[in-house]
Structure 1
Amino acid sequence: MKLLTFEDKGVHKLGVKTEQGIIDVSASAKNGVNFDIQTDIMSVIAGNKAEVSNLQDFIDHAMTEKKAVFVNEDEITWGPSVTKPHKIICVGLNYRKHADETNAPYPEVPILFNKFDNTLTGHKSEIPVPKVTKKLDYEVELGIVIGKKAKYISEDEALDHVFGYCAVNDLSARDLQLRTPQWLLGKTCDKFSPVGPYLVTADEVGNPNDLSLKTYVNGEVRQDSNTSDMIFNCAEIVSYISQYMTLEPGDIILTGTPEGVVLGLPEDQQVYLQPGDEVTVEIEKLGSLTNYFVEEK
């Protein structure tokens, strides 16, 4: 199932992408479809597989009874596909070729840092280029969304705790990121984590360790790789983090970016993102996430 959110009068509403279009879940529920369902994406995530099954039954019934209410995806204001994560945990230097291009040794354990919910935004949103940076970079990343509480779990059981996956652009202000040994400052400016367009349930994705992923800047391919190049795969990452902190439903784990970032180019070839640029990150089975960069006012 492909879940999403869109904004309506300041509220993030739940949508489901179907072959016929995007269904407005709450509007359909008010249209005479008598089901006890959750209409908030975080509640669906917390309900995990049982709530997804319930929601699928609701969608099937609404379609059969012709009571499904659709929205025009060209007219909606997309929200982040996860709206209120308790934690946003990121893995640095997790692709072999990305470590190679930045002349960094392969880490022996996952390098972790965090972001905050001020960084969240959605598909097609405008992102202000902060006045405090001259080196804004893109990073396509596979996002893991936790669906079941996880603590001290093994690698074998790790993916059973995953609700689904999403595309994320881990925007990075390199001059701020590298100002100190701690990367946080360059990673946490407003809207630096567009997420979406969809949150795709794990059953529909299958193996997360073999997905193609790409970045386009103004239509030009900049990153073109596969999650198989990860140093630590998805199960290893989830298991590792769970040894140190409890993962909760709705937590997002950003799994690192492949080669092709601006930082990895020779200095005389580095052209960082500017107002007017359009960036699309695309991951197999998860869709394409596009954002427009504008001048900060």
Structure 2
Amino acid sequence: MELKQWRCFVTLAEIGNIRRAASLLAISQPALSVRVQRLEEALGFALFDRQARGVRLTEQGARLLPHARRLLSRAAETDEAARAIGRGAFDRLEIGVTPIAALSFFPDAMRAFSAAHPGVVLALTEGLSDELEEAVAHRRLDLAVVHPPSSRDDLVVREVARDHFVAVMPAGHPLAGAGRIAAADLRQQTLVGVRRDIGPVVFDRIAAYLARAGITTQVNQCASSSISLVGLVAAGAGIGLVVESLACIARPDIRFVALSDDPPSLGYAMCHRPDLPAELQGAFMQAFHAPKAGAGVRPEL
């Protein structure tokens, strides 16, 4: 099925007369009839009832019409966006990012994008994954970096990297000098974590990891983000699990220790509407797979 067939269908449905519709489309009447017939053959049902004075939509044709209009509208938006890119017309893009991603591979990715597109201003908005997805869906953001999985079926969510978890603890803790520790080593330790209502993906993955070692997730103090969790640890509140890229937070009073037994990981995904121009999708995917400064981040190829 081709766009020109859909365009013929919508035009004929709106005008109701083959001669006038063909004139508007600047094609012959036989060409219009053939395109509509081929579309009907591909769909497997009739779109119009042919009458002496014109055509009338069938019930199935009437139900399909709004979807066809949306298809043509999206195609027109994509064409215009592509032309705008060719003219260098995209001078500002609204980008969303989660707090963890903002300290992970995201700065390197945006540096790579800006180097390739120096005339484009990137306006950043920080938020939780569900908030950012909502903003993308309602066109307040052009795209966002979120943590999968996503429950939305109206957006494209493509994983671009993963980050493994490590333990963060006070520098004076007995385990701080270990090269690696296992989940079982945390069994008798005081644990701190991020509240589940704020970070359900992170909370559940850490809980599942600890459960494999027979540890019930009972945190003594909760933080509102992984970054504030590091602050709790620095204050001596206990041990937490955070993504490895947060080791960029250099404080003399904390230590980051690797986990040895198949540690959990957190994904990073590019989230955008289906009509985001392919040129922009490709430009950002290329930037996301540029060399990363964060040692813990692994690109998804």
TM-score by length of structure 2 reads: 0.23
Normalization by structure 1: what TM-score? 0.23
Higher helix share: 2
- Structure index of larger Rg: 2
Give the strand-richer structure, 1 or 2.
1
